[in-house]
Structure 1
Amino acid sequence: MAFSRNLQLVPIAVPHLDRLSSELGETVQMAILDGTDIVYIAKSESQRPVQLVSSVGSRLPAHATGLGKALLACLSAERLEELYGNTESLAVLSPNTIRTFDALRHDLQSIRARGYAIDAGECTPGLFCIATPILGVDHKALAAISVSVPESRFVEADRSKLASRLIKEAHSLSRKLGAVDPSCWSAG
């Protein structure tokens, strides 16, 4: 079962999540894709007074989260069509949530070009998230990791620094899991 196989990632990933959370001072999470949802499988909490409240094991619509969009961006156009092709509208969690499959496809193209996913209050108003995938030996996304920052602490000028640090850690973890090229977007 894919879910239990992905749970085996947790003990390997937790030191990476803890290092990122400690260094960045923010909550770092890891999730897997299950159909059109993500499932949180690990978390390293910020020690700051204002922080993200989420639970390992909880599910959210993938299209509304940075983690989910990072994973969806690694899928083929055919697989995305299987998941969302018959969907007229997507679940709305906030005023910023992507509402249509066409808008999601456009966002996924931007994610591939940029190298990371962004959730700017799409899931939770007032929360900014940056996410990127973790790859395995077969060059497929096994999970994704994210850093979540309350809007009150987020400075746009720091976005590239946060993204760069997150991607570096994701690549390190991907290499540890056997990925030769740690980016699912570099292959085309």
Structure 2
Amino acid sequence: MLVRRETPDDIDAIRAVTAAAFRSAAHSAPPVDDSGEPGEATLVSWLRADPGWIPELSLVAVDGETVVGHVVCTRAYVDDRPALGLGPVSVLPDQQSSGVGSALMHAVLGAADAMDESLVGLLGEPAYYRRFGFVPASTIGIAAPDPAWGDYFQARTLTAYDGTTGSFRYAQPFDRLSP
């Protein structure tokens, strides 16, 4: 398996991987278009068209010529300070629990750190994301976009973190998903 930046040739495969990964997920977003695919599949397309898109932080895991996973970070903010919003993270169902997701997470966090980003926020399962250094965002003074998310909204500080606190705001396309 190789982790690399996405290319234009990967776009359809990324959508298929994201749809497959979230199709049976307990907390996936409902479809937002006529495709019937989980909202996360459309979200990636919306993010790609948004000014908050950071091409260097859209990574795929490939096995041979097949895209088996994808992760993306986009521009987010803590109050008016730049941060990153991570997600979605997608792995083909038959590749889950094989290290693909971990490889993608390590790669995107390393790339973000190398780019002098300061903080990454995400909504996800604390038991899973803890292994990558994420903590409940509230413990470092970062307020979730939705207070009901509680400890599921997490943050990971990077080398350039300067102690910024405040309210987290994802890239605008996240607001288009139904709660």
TM-score for both structures, normalised by structure 2 = 0.29
Which protein has the bigger strand share? 2
TM-score for both structures, normalised by structure 1 = 0.28
